[in-house]
């Protein structure tokens, strides 16, 4: 018998209707959760934190409004409004109150908010003054750390102001035994607590909190059953009435007890999926290996003739739609870093099982099909690739890539399995890995990975080298010497290394403070009962209850720093064409190009403070002169000309991303400056730090806060994306770029690396195009690359590229016997290409 069947079920009409209804309006902020948690906290002042957290969760579940949307088969929503979101004042709220009136009009991820909701939030949020995790975390950080954060060397904002999320829980356990089963397990553990045990109070309060939470979840599902019955009774359409009656039956059974059908399993996993996001505000709650833990229910139904592949596909499609129903309001700055309302609920298909055999099944294909049907960003769909992955599976994945939706992301088992083993997981556990959030691998159901723990901008420590640790008159970094006095490249390198190590230690200081704040103020008993070994240890996830505990902060800017340091080495020290003093001046003056007023002010302050520090008096006339010089008006022609020369010289130096062994080797060493020191640190949950190398979309906003860099990047421009080359610096096509990226040590970056490539659809045209595309991925993975994802440009994107060529410098279009950089073509030729995008083969 075949291991799997491929059905290619057409898109159900219901799915189109659900999506249309869901996107009819702007997403909305609701206040019910904030009001309920505040009510509960006012009642439980002075009680142990586990009691308070669980009682608040119970109060929310027992009282939050419920809704069944038209056409839904899988029900349950945290908000009445589609794509709405609740708020979480226990983590932070002041930004929200400050931004209430601008939420609707802001550029990134706007939200509608009613006057009534605003009034409620203004009433309840101030209760949290002095009670949030963010305030506690701040008080736990060293002053040096707060200074570095103020200067944007890194940001730990993700968990500083929000819940953690970033977890995969034991969905399989809930599907098998339900929360009644889990309550039994917890009661047994509680019964073993001896009155004389040192941890009696801590354990029993934790267990009671879990039981209280699970019982509330069961009651909550029961309320949905009641609602479905009520709606069924009032429904005049017999078909819909039957559906509602089935929904009521499902909610009556799950998640209280184990699922007895695929339909029930879908409903049960959905309750888990979104209630985790009601208990806490963390994003990247990732279902992981959905195709594996759902498969037994599908298989049993199929074998017993209780389900058709068509209906199973429809149910999966419904879950996919629901995953897009969840939303999160972030502060305006973070919204830019995570643009697109993303919740990063990563769901991964394919790969091997824990015995090392290929685990691709019918559902793996149906996951890809569902994303083709819904064409929505959630789930963040991933596929696992290993040498034994069926070619047909990857061809199907490539077909999804070809639609231009940006999914799936491809992951290399051959790198991730050894990476996890190097962090202490067993071979079996590592083979069963799943991905959290963007790109972060972990052992599912057993890990609190704290992935996404920070964005560390690797460009900023180099700025610190150039200005001897000073910025705006403050000593932010260590004094590593005046660059003008450095006489060898080794001295520059050592200074950069020292700055990196110092700021990494501050990053750790920040993350550990936040970690402590979460364990003290916001432990999550309900989430914890679905993470091994919290029940065994009697500890919440936040207290170190999981089997594996990591902190994974990600660095980015490898490409810029490689190109920058390599240019310094070549131009200043090897070829002696530029001096360090000139390079410093070029950076300070942004290579003579115009800069933003804010940046000009910052640079001016810098110069003035430096002059003052050297004992030179500065009067207001001089300040005006300096400012004029900084803005560019006053930069002498001679300097401008020299800056142009320097830019041209930099342009002529080899760059990362072009398959040049010397530069690529350099990049590997630059990446080690981030990944290696990180491994030396430990977190309060008893786990290790492990680096990731990816910026999500923070390379754009954090680039805006970064001055010019010696790779020729101008002030404020985006920093390179992921582990890929700096924008427009790779000119030898995708294989050359991939070869360069593969030269990095991906295994040490066990919190994940991210490699984006952009393709014109011609690269995937026809079956041959798909085959070649799949094998391009395999060849990159043969060389131990970790991750790859693709933007296949659409007609719309090409039109955008015509309007904003600076964002698409490296977009190559290829036709037989010919290739060209899109943006270098004249307008009419670009139009030809745009007209060709719809062709299947040429």
- Provide the binding-site residues for another protein, judged by CB under 8 A: 659, 732-736, 739, 762-763, 765-766, 768-769, 771-772, 775-776, 778-780, 782-783, 814-820, 824-826, 828-829, 832-833, 835-836, 838-839, 841-842
**Which helix or strand (DSSP H or E) is residue 789 part of?**
strand 787-792
Burial class of residue 198, CB neighbours in 10 A (0-12, 13-18, 19+): exposed
Residue 709 or 762 with smaller CB distance to another protein: 762
- Helix-, strand-, coil-residue percentages of the chain, each rounded to 5: 55, 10, 40
| Of 651, 662, 653, the residue nearest 740 (C-alpha) | 662
Residue 544 or 769 with smaller CB distance to another protein: 769
* Smallest distance, another protein to C-beta of residue 394, A: 11
Residue 424 or 805 with smaller CB distance to another protein: 805
* Smallest distance, another protein to C-beta of residue 569, A: 23
The span from the CA of 126 to the CA of 154, in Å, is 29
* Smallest distance, another protein to C-beta of residue 666, A: 18
Is the separation of the CB atoms in 692 and 555 below 8 Å? Answer: yes
Residue 168 or 762 with smaller CB distance to another protein: 762
Query: Quick one: DSSP state of residue 682?
Result: B
* Smallest distance, another protein to C-beta of residue 594, A: 22
- Please identify which of the residues 438, 459, 529, 534 carries the catalytic annotation: 438
| Of 717, 704, 707, 457, the residue nearest 588 (C-alpha) | 707
* Smallest distance, another protein to C-beta of residue 755, A: 15
Pure H helices in 589-660: 597-613, 620-631, 637-652
Whether residue 533 is preceded by a cis peptide bond, meaning omega within 30 degrees of 0, is yes
CB atoms closer than 10 angstroms to residue 60: 24
The span from the CA of 147 to the CA of 141, in Å, is 10
Please give the structure tokens belonging to residue 808: 């698409």
Is the separation of the CB atoms in 589 and 711 below 8 Å? Answer: no
Residue 614 or 767 with smaller CB distance to another protein: 767
Phi, psi at residue 457, to the nearest 5°?
Answer: -85, 105
What does R_g of the chain's alpha carbons equal in angstroms?
Answer: 27
Helix (H, G, I), strand (E, B) or coil at 769: helix
* Smallest distance, another protein to C-beta of residue 828, A: 8
* Smallest distance, another protein to C-beta of residue 788, A: 13
Residue 618 or 825 with smaller CB distance to another protein: 825
Q: Scanning the structure block, which residue is given the tokens 């500890």?
A: 539
- Please identify which of the residues 264, 314, 336, 440 carries the catalytic annotation: 440
Active site residue 796: no
Residue 540 or 653 with smaller CB distance to another protein: 653
Active site residue 214: no
* Smallest distance, another protein to C-beta of residue 841, A: 4
Q: Give the largest Cα separation in the chain, rounded.
A: 88
For β-strands 447-448 and 548-556, DSSP reports them as parallel
Residues paired with residue 109 on neighbouring β-strands, in sequence order: none
Residue 182 or 798 with smaller CB distance to another protein: 798
Catalytic residue annotation: 438, 440
């Amino acid at each position: 018998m075949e291991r799997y069947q491929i059905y290619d079920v057409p898109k159900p009409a219901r799915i189109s209707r659900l999506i249309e209804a869901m996107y009819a309006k702007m997403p909305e902020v609701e206040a019910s959760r904030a009001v309920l948690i505040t009510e509960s906290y006012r009642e439980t002042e002075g009680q142990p934190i586990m009691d308070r957290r669980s009682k608040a969760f119970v109060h929310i579940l027992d009282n939050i409004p419920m809704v069944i949307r038209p056409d839904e088969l899988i029900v349950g929503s945290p908000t009445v409004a589609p794509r709405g979101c609740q708020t979480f004042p226990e983590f932070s709220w002041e930004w929200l109150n400050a931004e209430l009136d601008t939420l609707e009009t802001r550029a990134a991820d706007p939200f509608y908010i009613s006057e009534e909701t605003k009034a409620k939030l203004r009433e309840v949020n101030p209760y949290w003054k002095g009670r949030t995790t963010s305030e506690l975390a701040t008080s736990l950080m060293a002053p040096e750390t707060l200074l570095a954060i103020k200067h944007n060397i890194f940001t730990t904002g993700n968990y500083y102001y929000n819940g953690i999320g970033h977890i995969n829980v034991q969905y399989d356990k809930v599907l098998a035994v339900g929360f009644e089963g889990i309550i039994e397990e917890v009661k047994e553990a509680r019964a073993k607590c001896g009155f004389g045990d040192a941890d009696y109070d801590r354990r029993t309060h934790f267990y009671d909190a879990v039981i209280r939470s699970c019982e509330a979840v069961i009651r909550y599902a029961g309320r949905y059953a009641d609602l479905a019955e009520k709606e069924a009774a009032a429904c005049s359409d017999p078909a819909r009435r039957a559906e509602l009656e089935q929904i009521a039956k499902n909610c009556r059974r799950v998640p209280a007890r184990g699922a007895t059908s695929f339909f029930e399993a879908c409903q049960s996993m959905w309750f888990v999926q979104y209630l985790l996001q009601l208990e806490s505000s963390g994003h990247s709650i990732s279902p992981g290996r959905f195709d594996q833990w759902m498969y037994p229910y599908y298989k049993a139904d199929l074998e017993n003739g209780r389900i058709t592949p068509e209906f199973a596909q429809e149910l999966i499609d419904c879950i996919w739609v629901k995953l897009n129903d969840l939303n999160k309001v972030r502060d305006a700055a973070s919204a830019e870093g995570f643009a697109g309302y993303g919740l990063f609920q990563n769901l991964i298909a394919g790969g091997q099982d824990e015995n090392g055999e290929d685990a691709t099944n019918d559902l793996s294909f149906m996951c890809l099909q569902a994303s083709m049907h819904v064409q929505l960003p959630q789930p963040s769909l991933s596929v696992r690739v290993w040498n034994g992955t069926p070619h047909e599976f990857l061809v199907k994945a490539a077909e999804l890539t070809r639609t231009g939706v940006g999914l799936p992301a491809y992951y290399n088992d051959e790198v991730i399995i050894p990476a996890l083993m190097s962090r202490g997981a067993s071979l079996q556990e590592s083979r069963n890995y799943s991905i959290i959030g963007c790109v972060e691998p972990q052992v599912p159901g057993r890990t609190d990975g704290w992935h996404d723990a920070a964005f560390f901008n690797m460009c900023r420590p180099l700025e610190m080298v150039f200005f001897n640790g000073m910025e705006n008159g403050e000593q932010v970094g260590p004094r590593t010497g005046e660059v003008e006095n450095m006489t060898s490249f080794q001295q520059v390198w050592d200074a950069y290394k020292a700055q990196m190590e110092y700021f990494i230690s501050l990053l750790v200081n920040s993350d550990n403070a936040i970690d402590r704040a979460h364990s003290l103020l916001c432990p999550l008993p309900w989430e914890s009962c679905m993470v091994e070994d919290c029940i065994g240890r009697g500890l919440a996830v936040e207290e170190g209850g999981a089997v594996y505990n990591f902190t994974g902060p990600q660095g980015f800017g490898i490409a810029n720093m490689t190109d920058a340091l390599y240019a310094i080495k070549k131009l200043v020290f090897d070829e002696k064409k530029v001096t360090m003093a000139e390079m410093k001046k070029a950076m300070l003056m942004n290579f003579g190009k115009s800069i933003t007023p804010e940046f000009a002010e910052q640079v001016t302050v810098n110069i003035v403070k430096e002059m003052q520090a050297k004992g030179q008096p500065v009067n207001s006339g001089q300040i005006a002169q300096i400012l004029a010089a900084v803005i560019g008006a006053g930069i002498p022609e001679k300097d401008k000309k020299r800056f142009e020369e320097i830019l041209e010289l930099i342009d002529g130096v080899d760059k990362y991303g072009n398959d040049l062994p010397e530069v690529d080797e350099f990049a590997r060493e630059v990446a080690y400056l981030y990944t290696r020191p990180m491994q030396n640190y430990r977190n309060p949950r008893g786990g290790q730090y492990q680096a990731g190398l990816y910026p999500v979309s923070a390379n754009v906003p954090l680039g805006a806060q970064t001055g010019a860099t010696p790779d020729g990047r101008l002030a404020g421009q985006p920093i390179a994306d992921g582990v890929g080359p700096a924008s427009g610096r790779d000119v030898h096509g995708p294989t050359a770029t991939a070869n360069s990226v593969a030269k990095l040590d991906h295994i040490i970056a066990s919190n994940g690396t991210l490699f984006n490539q952009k393709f014109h659809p011609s690269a995937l045209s026809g079956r041959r195009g798909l085959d070649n595309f799949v094998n391009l991925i395999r060849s990159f993975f043969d060389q131990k690359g970790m991750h790859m994802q693709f933007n296949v440009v659409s007609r719309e994107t090409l039109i955008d590229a015509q309007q904003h060529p600076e964002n698409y410098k490296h977009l190559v279009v290829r036709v037989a016997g010919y290739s060209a950089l899109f943006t270098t073509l004249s307008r009419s030729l670009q139009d030809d290409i745009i007209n060709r995008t719809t062709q299947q083969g040429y």
